[in-house]
């Protein structure tokens, strides 16, 4: 099973993907952890070829779960994916989550991705690329684009799941784990 988990910043993509990967016993690839380099260097903008090179070995594998929204990776991932999960939650929920997460990260000063030195800072909350602003600014575009993606007949071979409420996550993870267990090795 090869699963792509998509959604707005703050929707819970990484949490969902980690839980699913653990249940399936397969590698989990958090695209943000690969993309963001020390000093907040964004590979998707500065060196998309390198980003693809770093992700390719995992995506070439027999089974995996990845979470993220990087357009530089999307075609490659969708070519191999067997399942697509869209966490399509309401904007107020997403904004509550992303603000809470950013607040806690800014207080704790924890590194977001080990080895990068990248940490949340209150002074950057209004920056265009900050997760709070990014989640707000991209919400409607992502909703439109993902709805079109799920309706695309070219992706008919991929099992597509659109979750509208967080309470739908655990049952889907359980169903996908059961499906994965039934697959031949």
Q: What is the CATH number of the domain that holds 42?
A: 3.40.50.300
**pLDDT above 70: percentage of residues in the chain:** 99
- Alpha-carbon distance of 107 to 170, in angstroms, equals 29
* Torsion over CA: 100, 44, 16, 139 (sign): positive
Q: How many domains does the chain have?
A: 1
Q: Say whether pLDDT at 185 is over 70.
A: no
Q: Which residue has the tokens 């000093």?
A: 39
| Per-residue pLDDT, 3 | 98
The shares of helix, strand and coil residues in the chain, as percent rounded to the nearest 5, are: 60, 15, 25
Question: Does 103 fall in a domain?
Answer: no
| Per-residue pLDDT, 122 | 87
| Per-residue pLDDT, 183 | 76
pTM comes to 0.93
As a whole number, mean pLDDT of residues 42-71 equals 96
- Alpha-carbon distance of 18 to 108, in angstroms, equals 22
- Alpha-carbon distance of 14 to 25, in angstroms, equals 16
Q: Say whether pLDDT at 81 is over 70.
A: yes
Domain of 67, in residue numbers:
2-89+142-182
């Amino acid at each position: 099973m090869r699963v792509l988990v998509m959604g707005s910043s703050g929707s819970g993509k990484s949490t969902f993907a980690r839980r699913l990967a653990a249940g399936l016993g397969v590698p989990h690839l958090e695209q943000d952890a690969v993309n963001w380099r020390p000093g907040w260097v964004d590979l998707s903008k500065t060196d998309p070829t390198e980003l693809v090179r770093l992700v390719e070995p995992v995506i070439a594998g027999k089974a995996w779960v990845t979470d993220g929204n990087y357009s530089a990776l999307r075609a490659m991932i969708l070519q191999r994916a067997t399942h697509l999960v869209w966490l399509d939650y309401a904007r107020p929920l997403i904004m509550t989550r992303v603000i809470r997460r950013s607040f806690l990260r800014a207080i704790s000063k924890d590194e977001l991705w080990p080895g990068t030195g990248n940490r949340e800072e209150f002074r950057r909350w209004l920056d265009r690329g900050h997760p709070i602003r990014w989640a707000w600014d991209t919400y409607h575009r992502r909703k439109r684009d993902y709805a079109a993606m799920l309706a695309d007949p070219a992706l008919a071979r991929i099992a597509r799941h659109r979750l509208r409420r967080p309470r739908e996550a655990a049952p889907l993870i359980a169903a996908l784990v059961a499906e994965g267990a039934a697959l031949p090795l």
